[in-house]
């Protein structure tokens, strides 16, 4: 058991005060009675029983106990578990972040880490069950618990570094999510070239094995493209980092689609990150690359950064309506929206977003749908009738659709009543009547309105364009909203795809992966290689860039001290606090106080 | 004044009954040994051999041709001994038991005087403190009231000793009315037996305060005996009070059983019961007053 707030135990100092108060209170009051002779008999009976004697002091006892429990509760004790039976367990967590690709001498830090991991495995008892996990941009368990050393060595040998920053917090969460790991040894093999947040909760019996030394590095730590408001001119923002004790001059080269468009020398001071803005007038193209030329340092992954400025693929919206001025107006003014208006749904058309306005929705419609006063066959809402609305609309602020939304001034005269599936989320409602809901199941990403815009003044309100923008963004997010797609390694890229149609993603290394989804959105997570990714759909082709660009990873200096003799390193962060029990202690305090009160009331 | 005039007028319409009088429905041959005012006809019964011929009713014999003897009730001069407990414990309560008992004594005394009975009042604690000589004239009623009004609580109770002493020194037993809280650790049996042996009719009126029947105080106390100043420490809880009341109930039962077995009339009252109600209702119900 650990105490997270030992100062809470100072409350115990109040116990002498309580005892003193009891001593003073023990002064018995005088009570005259006409005769004692019957009372004496009662007193004799009472003194023969032990319970009243105990009761006399039980209030003091209960109060002292309540203070003890309260002090313990304030001290926030956490159970760290008891030693479990069976074989010992160990998790070898290997840092596979980009900095592990740094070369020290003749080998990379990752190779050093692998050697250390093998040593850790080799030193363990033969019956120790060992798991191998990685703590790269996407933490993963690469080998479950096993005692088979050959398997473990093979898994360790196959580990590769990823071009992204490490995420110890995510790795720790992943380990904790595996179950009760409080008694499990967790050995983190790392170059310590990252900062650990104090809030990171380290799992199990955590210790680190540090590899590598402080070595200088120069890197592109930031590369972003920005289009000017009028969309005509591109601007590049570059940050160059010099993680060395001496100043240096770096040669930065910018290229578009393989053609060099700019080359300049930039002086960067010791341990300095130098920002740089470069206008790129008249430059067009899709793949932009910033590269440090002739930079011979330990880590090459951060010598280049990428960005994509492709033409924006318009969002294909099919508005199915018998005529709705508000919807037609708002959808037509959105940039990069290709709007088709039709009285009946046309499922044969390639559509990213269906907007159904008071029409009969066809069965089997999938993808992103905004259904306004439209009953979807097999949809989550089964309408039963209409009901007048005369109360204020309440909005679920937790939903992204309600961001910056104020519906308090919106008047809705009537709305459909019906049964809403429990798997749907209500965004806005009046009492029990849902007005706006979302549903993401069975290949459908749906936003539903149970009222018609004709029965409301929503179209006239300033909240209407905000709501529609939120809805369109939620239904059809795109990494290319600005036409520039560049994400950090490890980030999730949402890709709008055609449901049922294959999507091929080509990695910078040439590896390809094919996806066929029922939904119209692919949340692509495997962004562990820096470079340009190609997304090839049935009728479109997109690019996006993944770049390391992380000053944290490019700084190859260990952030925390190491005991070089043992290799064991103390790491900042919070140890797994175990299971908090202050709630139980607080409940005990309440029970004790209630018991104290009951006994006191019985006595008086 | 202890009693108001209207109450006194009502009292005049009542009279005290002694059991002995009620018992002494004598056969014709039984003549009271005491000075009696007259013999009052009571009833007839069939003649049995040995009966005094003087009490045969010849008129009935003429009509019915059967012999009946007349029965008479002896009218005695009843002496009423009112013994009122003036120990410190009688000062307990609001109003005090002594005040309540004093009014009861005054009422019963007046009632007796109104019926030309002799009435003597004695105050006792651990012995007979002082007495008022028996009186039988109505003119002495105010003296009786003054005496009773002047009673002050003092001393501790010794019920047995007091009654033994009183029974021995009284030459003319009669109706002994004992007004007390009967809270004497020394008991009451010997004293009451002494009166019974001396052929007293005994009316025992036990007066308690409501707070003695159902104590309201709770908590940790030093209980102080009102008479002896002795102390005992006690944590008074609801359970303690229940135990006390159980014990009190047992005590009442013991007293009742004793009185029943010794032909003693026993009346228990609390100072919360209106005094008039006790006189006109409870005592009448117990056939002490008619």
**Is A196 within the bounds of a domain?**
yes
pLDDT of residue A359: 87
Secondary structure class of B106 (helix, strand, coil): helix
Residue A51 touches partner B, C-beta closer than 8 Å: no
Q: How confident is the model at residue B13 (pLDDT cuts 50, 70, 90)?
A: low
Q: Which residue of B has its CA nearest to A40?
A: B232
Chain B residues whose beta carbon lies within 8 Å of the beta carbon of residue A38: 183, 244, 247-248, 251
Mean pLDDT on A517-524: 78
B118 and B182 housed in the same domain? yes
B221 and B105 housed in the same domain? yes
Least confident of A83-87, A408-412, B267-271: A83-87
pLDDT of residue A113: 92
Mean pLDDT on B174-199: 90
Place of tokens 């940790």: B220
Residue that is last in its domain, among A257, A280, A311? A311
First-residue to last-residue Cα distance in chain A? 40
**Is A460 within the bounds of a domain?**
yes
B158 and B265 housed in the same domain? yes
* Cβ–Cβ < 8 Å for B84, B101: yes
Exposed/middle/buried for A432, CB within 10 Å: 0-12, 13-18, 19+? exposed
Q: How confident is the model at residue A335 (pLDDT cuts 50, 70, 90)?
A: confident
**Is B131 within the bounds of a domain?**
yes
d(CA B21, CA B13): 19
B260 and B179 housed in the same domain? yes
Residue that is last in its domain, among B76, B101, B117? B76
**Is B17 within the bounds of a domain?**
no
A404 and A376 housed in the same domain? yes
Contacts made by residues A246-251, CB under 8 angstroms, sequence distance 24+: A246/A216, A246/A270, A247/A272, A248/A218, A250/A218, A250/A292, A250/A295, A251/A292, A251/A293, A251/A294, A251/A295
Chain B residues whose beta carbon lies within 8 Å of the beta carbon of residue A34: 89-90, 92-93, 97, 181, 183, 209, 212, 226-227
Structure tokens at A243: 């993680």
Q: How confident is the model at residue B289 (pLDDT cuts 50, 70, 90)?
A: low
Higher pLDDT, A604 or A144: A144
- Comparing CB atoms, the residue among B90, B183, B221 nearest residue A29 is B221
Q: A508 is in which domain, residue-wise?
A: 484-547
- Comparing CB atoms, the residue among B185, B219, B240 nearest residue A37 is B185
| Number of domain units in chain B | 2
What was the ipTM of the complex prediction? 0.74
Residue A85 touches partner B, C-beta closer than 8 Å: no
Q: Would the CB atoms of B248 and A26 count as touching at under 8 Å?
A: no
- Comparing CB atoms, the residue among A42, A56, A604 nearest residue B244 is A42
Q: Which residue of B has its CA nearest to A604?
A: B218
Q: Mutate which of B156, B213, B239, B252 to disrupt the A interface (most A C-beta within 10 Å)?
A: B239
Secondary structure class of A450 (helix, strand, coil): coil
CA-to-CA dists, residue B251 to B96, B182, B189, B190, B243, angstroms:
22, 10, 12, 16, 12
Residue that is last in its domain, among A453, A475, A497? A475
d(CA A143, CA A128): 14
Chain B residues whose beta carbon lies within 8 Å of the beta carbon of residue A600: none
d(CA A396, CA A8): 38
Let me know the angle formed at the C-alpha of A72 by A70 and A73, rounded to the nearest 5 degrees.
60
The DSSP code for A4 is S
pLDDT tens, position by position, B214-268: 888 887 788 888 888 888 888 787 888 888 999 899 999 999 999 999 888 888 9
Residue B25 in this model has a pLDDT that exceeds 50: no
Q: Would the CB atoms of A31 and B227 count as touching at under 8 Å?
A: no
Q: How close does chain B come to A15, measured CA to CA in Å?
A: 22
d(CA B179, CA B279): 13
Q: B118 is in which domain, residue-wise?
A: 5-11+78-285
| Number of domain units in chain A | 5
A55 and A117 housed in the same domain? no
Mean pLDDT on B109-127: 85
Q: Taking phi first (over 0 means left), then psi (-120 to 50 degrees means alpha), and beta for anything else, what does residue A257 get?
A: left
A277 and A265 housed in the same domain? yes
- Comparing CB atoms, the residue among B93, B97, B244 nearest residue A38 is B244
B58 and B134 housed in the same domain? no
CA-to-CA dists, residue A182 to A316, A441, B285, angstroms:
52, 37, 85
Q: How confident is the model at residue A560 (pLDDT cuts 50, 70, 90)?
A: low
- Comparing CB atoms, the residue among B92, B222, B236 nearest residue A34 is B92
B173 and B44 housed in the same domain? no
Q: How close does chain B come to A570, measured CA to CA in Å?
A: 60
Residue A22 in this model has a pLDDT that exceeds 60: yes
Q: How confident is the model at residue B26 (pLDDT cuts 50, 70, 90)?
A: very low
pLDDT of residue A444: 80
**Is A84 within the bounds of a domain?**
no
B178 and B270 housed in the same domain? yes
pLDDT tens, position by position, A95-124: 988 888 888 888 888 999 999 999 989 888
CATH number at residue A502: 2.60.40.1930
A416 and A362 housed in the same domain? yes
Mean pLDDT on A245-266: 88
Q: Taking phi first (over 0 means left), then psi (-120 to 50 degrees means alpha), and beta for anything else, what does residue A160 get?
A: beta
Residue that is last in its domain, among B48, B76, B104? B76
Please state, for a pLDDT cut of 70, what percent of chain A lies above it: 88
Chain A residues whose beta carbon lies within 8 Å of the beta carbon of residue B238: 602-603
CA-to-CA dists, residue A39 to A126, B74, B159, B212, B235, angstroms:
77, 48, 19, 10, 11
A182 and A105 housed in the same domain? yes
Q: Would the CB atoms of A34 and B237 count as touching at under 8 Å?
A: no
Task: Give chain B's contact residues with A (Cβ, < 8 Å).
Answer: 89-90, 92-93, 97, 181, 183-185, 209, 212, 215, 217-228, 230, 232-240, 243-244, 247-248, 251
Residues 499-528 of A with CB under 8 A from B: none
Taking one residue from A and the other from B, the number of pairs with CB-CB distance under 8 angstroms is 103
Secondary structure class of A110 (helix, strand, coil): helix
**Is A102 within the bounds of a domain?**
yes
Q: What are phi and psi of B82, to 5 degrees?
A: -100, 115
pLDDT of residue B122: 92
**Is A328 within the bounds of a domain?**
yes
**Is B206 within the bounds of a domain?**
yes
B62 and B103 housed in the same domain? no
pLDDT of residue A229: 62
- Identify whether B95 is preceded by a cis peptide bond (ω within 30 of 0): yes
A116 and A184 housed in the same domain? yes
pLDDT of residue A114: 92
**Is B16 within the bounds of a domain?**
no
Residue A35 touches partner B, C-beta closer than 8 Å: yes
A183 and A210 housed in the same domain? yes
**Is A378 within the bounds of a domain?**
yes
Q: Would the CB atoms of A602 and B237 count as touching at under 8 Å?
A: yes
Q: Would the CB atoms of A29 and B220 count as touching at under 8 Å?
A: yes
* Cβ–Cβ < 8 Å for A382, A419: yes
A501 and A468 housed in the same domain? no
B244 and B193 housed in the same domain? yes
Residue A22 touches partner B, C-beta closer than 8 Å: no
Q: Would the CB atoms of A46 and B247 count as touching at under 8 Å?
A: no
The residues facing A248 across adjacent strands are A268
A348 and A464 housed in the same domain? yes
* Per-chain mean pLDDT for chain B: 81
pLDDT of residue A564: 41
């Amino acid at each position: 058991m650990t105490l997270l707030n030992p100062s809470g135990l100072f409350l115990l100092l109040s116990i002498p005060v309580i005892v003193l108060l009891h001593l003073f209170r023990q002064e018995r009051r005088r009570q005259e009675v006409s005769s004692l002779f019957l009372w004496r008999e009662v007193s004799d009976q009472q003194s023969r029983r032990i319970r009243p004697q105990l009761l006399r002091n039980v209030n003091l006892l209960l109060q002292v106990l309540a203070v003890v429990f309260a002090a313990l509760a304030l001290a926030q004790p956490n159970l760290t578990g008891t030693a479990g039976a069976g074989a010992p367990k160990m998790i070898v967590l290997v840092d596979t972040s980009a900095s592990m690709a740094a070369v020290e001498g003749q080998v990379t830090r990752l190779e050093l880490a692998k050697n250390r991991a093998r040593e850790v495995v080799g030193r363990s008892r033969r019956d120790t069950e060992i798991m191998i996990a990685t703590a790269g941009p996407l933490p993963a368990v690469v080998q479950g618990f096993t005692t088979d050393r050959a398997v473990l060595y093979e898994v360790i040998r196959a580990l590769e570094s990823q071009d992204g920053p490490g995420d110890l917090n995510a790795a720790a969460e992943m380990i904790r999510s595996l179950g009760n790991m409080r008694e499990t040894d967790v050995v983190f093999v790392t170059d310590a070239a990252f900062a650990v947040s104090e809030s990171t909760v380290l799992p199990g019996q955590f210790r680190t094995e540090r590899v590598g030394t402080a070595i200088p590095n120069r890197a592109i730590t930031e590369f972003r493209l920005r289009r000017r408001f009028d969309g005509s001119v591109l601007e590049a923002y570059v940050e160059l980092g010099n993680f060395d004790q001496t100043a240096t001059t770096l040669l930065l080269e910018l290229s578009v689609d393989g053609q060099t468009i700019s080359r300049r020398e930039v002086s960067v001071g010791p341990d300095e990150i130098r920002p740089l803005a470069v206008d790129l007038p008249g430059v067009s193209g899709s793949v932009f690359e910033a590269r440090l030329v002739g930079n011979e340092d330990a880590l090459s992954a951060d010598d280049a950064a990428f960005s994509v400025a492709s033409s924006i693929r318009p969002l294909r919206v099919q508005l199915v309506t018998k005529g709705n001025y508000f919807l037609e107006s708002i959808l037509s003014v959105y940039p990069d929206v290709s709007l088709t208006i039709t009285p009946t749904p046309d499922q044969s058309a390639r559509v990213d977003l269906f907007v159904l306005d008071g029409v009969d929705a066809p069965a089997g419609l999938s993808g992103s749908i905004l259904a306004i006063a439209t009953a979807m066959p097999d949809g989550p809402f089964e309408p039963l009738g209409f009901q007048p609305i005369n109360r204020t609309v309440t909005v679920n602020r937790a939903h992204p659709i309600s961001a910056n939304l104020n519906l308090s001034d919106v008047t809705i005269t009537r709305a459909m009543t019906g049964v809403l599936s429990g798997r749907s989320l209500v965004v806005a409602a009046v009492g029990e009547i849902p007005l706006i809901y979302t549903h993401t199941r069975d290949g459908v990403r749906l936003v539903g309105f149970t009222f018609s815009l004709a029965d409301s003044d929503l179209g006239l309100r300033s909240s209407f364009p905000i709501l529609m923008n939120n809805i369109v963004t939620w239904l059809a997010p795109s990494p290319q909203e600005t036409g520039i797609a560049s994400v950090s390694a490890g980030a999730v890229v949402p890709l709008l795809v055609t449901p049922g149609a294959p999507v091929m993603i080509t990695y910078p290394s040439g590896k390809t992966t094919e996806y066929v989804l029922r939904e119209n959105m692919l949340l692509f997570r495997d962004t562990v290689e820096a470079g340009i990714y190609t997304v090839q759909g049935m009728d479109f082709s997109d690019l996006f860039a993944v770049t390391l660009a992380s000053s944290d990873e490019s700084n190859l200096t260990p952030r925390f001290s190491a005991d070089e003799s043992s290799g064991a390193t103390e790491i900042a962060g919070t140890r797994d606090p175990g299971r908090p029990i202050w709630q139980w202690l607080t409940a005990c305090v309440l029970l004790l106080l209630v018991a104290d009160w009951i006994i006191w009331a019985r006595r008086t | 004044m202890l009693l108001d005039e209207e109450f006194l007028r009502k009292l005049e319409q009542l009279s005290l009954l002694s059991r002995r009088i009620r018992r002494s429905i004598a056969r014709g041959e039984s003549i009271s040994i005491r000075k009696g005012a007259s013999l009052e006809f009571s009833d007839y019964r069939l003649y049995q051999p040995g009966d005094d011929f003087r009490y045969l009713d010849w008129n009935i014999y003429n009509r019915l041709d059967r012999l009946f003897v007349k029965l008479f009730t002896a009218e005695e001069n009843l002496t009423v001994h009112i013994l009122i407990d003036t120990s410190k414990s009688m000062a307990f309560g609001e109003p005090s038991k002594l005040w309540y008992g004093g009014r009861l004594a005054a009422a019963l005394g007046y009632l007796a005087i109104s019926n030309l009975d002799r009435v003597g009042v004695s105050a006792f604690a651990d012995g007979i403190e002082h007495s008022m000589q028996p009186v039988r004239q109505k003119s002495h009623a105010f003296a009786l009231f003054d005496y009773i009004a002047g009673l002050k609580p003092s001393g501790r109770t010794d019920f047995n000793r007091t009654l033994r002493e009183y029974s021995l020194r009284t030459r003319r037993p009669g109706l002994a009315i004992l007004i007390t809280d009967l809270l004497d650790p020394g008991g009451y049996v010997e004293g009451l037996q002494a009166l019974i042996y001396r052929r007293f009719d005994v009316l025992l009126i036990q007066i308690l305060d409501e707070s003695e029947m159902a104590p309201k105080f709770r908590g940790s106390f030093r209980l102080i005996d009102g008479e002896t100043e002795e102390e005992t420490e006690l944590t008074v809880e609801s359970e303690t009070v229940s135990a006390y009341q159980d014990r009190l109930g047992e005590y009442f039962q013991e007293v009742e059983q004793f009185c029943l077995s010794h032909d003693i009339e026993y009346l228990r009252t609390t100072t919360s019961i209106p005094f008039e109600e006790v006189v006109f209702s409870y005592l009448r119900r117990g056939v002490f007053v008619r």
